[in-house]
Amino acid sequence: MSFVFPPFPTVAVPVVGQTATFPVHRVYCVGRNYEDHAKEMGFTGREPPFFFMKPADAVVVVPAGQTGSMPYPSLTKNLHHEIELVVAIGTGGKNIAAADAHKHIFGYAVGLDMTRRDLQGEMKKQGRPWCIGKGFDQSAPIGPITPKAQAGDAENAEIWLQVNGEDRQRSNVSKLIWNIAETIEHLSAAWELQPGDLIYSGTPEGVNAVVAGDTLRGGVTGLEGLTVRIAG
């Protein structure tokens, strides 16, 4: 097959313990999925899970032991960090029951759902899509994917983020309002999941601003960590 120009290369995330990489298909994100984060954003109560997407090429791949780099994005004066457990789908499907969901998981990684909070807030106020606040270029840093057999109990693990060595977010993935299996059930009712899909599962409380020059270091117990520096 020939193309009128070279196709954009597939984003490939390293896999712990393997030379083969994980080719990214889509990036789904869950909104307000920890109670104390929902509260800090001004919401209370358990609402049905809701989703937004980032472009696959917004993923910033950070290999193990390295410090990745993302530029401070345009248009914003309030770039927020959201540390999240990322679920990597290995087997696709639609209408997946929660009881079957784990069969579809390839592994887990640590990710950052970087957010232009001021733009997201403006869009919320006007009832407009969040894309400009959430789906911007290089908005989805991710560390290596750990296959689920080696990942320990990632869904009941501590999750944290430090900025310049100081704690900003620290919680436990067990506090997800909609757990990973329930999230996959809801998501796969709306879209047919495919191998290569990533699901950013939501962030705990403590989201806040970062500026150029800051170094973000995040982790989930049992997984490779993620370090990213905000470039100027």
End-to-end Cα spacing for the chain: 40
User: Can you tell me which residue has the tokens 């784990």?
Assistant: 102
Q: Are 108 and 87 in contact (CB under 8 A)?
A: yes
- Measured from the CB atom, is 103 or 124 closer to Mn ion? 124
Task: Name the minimum Å distance from CB 9 to Mn ion.
Answer: 26
Whole-number minimum distance, CB 207 to Mn ion, in Å? 8
Tell me how far, at minimum, the Cβ of 52 lies from Mn ion, in Å: 9
Residues 69-108 interacting with Mn ion (rule: CB under 5 A): 82
Strand runs labelled E in 55-192: 59-61, 67-71, 79-81, 83-89, 105-112, 115-116, 140-142, 146-147, 158-163, 166-172
Q: Which residues pair with 188 in a beta bridge?
A: none
What are φ and ψ of residue 130, in 5° steps?
-85, -5
Q: Which of 83, 203, 206, 230 binds Mn ion (CB under 5 A)?
A: 203
Q: Which is nearer to Mn ion, 15 or 161 (CB)?
A: 161
Choose the binding region for Mn ion from 15-23, 118-126, 171-179, 195-203 (rule: CB under 5 A): 195-203
Assess 120 for contact with Mn ion (CB under 5 A).
no
CA distance 198 to 105: 10
Stretch that binds Mn ion, among 38-46, 102-110, 200-208, 216-224 (CB under 5 A): 200-208
Q: Which is nearer to Mn ion, 188 or 203 (CB)?
A: 203
| Least distance CB 44 / Mn ion (angstroms) | 18
Taking Cα atoms as reference points, which of 177, 223, 209 lies closest to residue 30? Answer: 177
Phi, psi for 15 (deg, rounded to 5): -115, 130
Nearer to Mn ion, 120 or 203 (CB): 203
The distance of closest approach from Cβ of residue 105 to Mn ion in the complex, given in angstroms and rounded to an integer, is: 19
**Chain residues that interact with Mn ion, rule: CB under 5 A:** 82, 113, 203
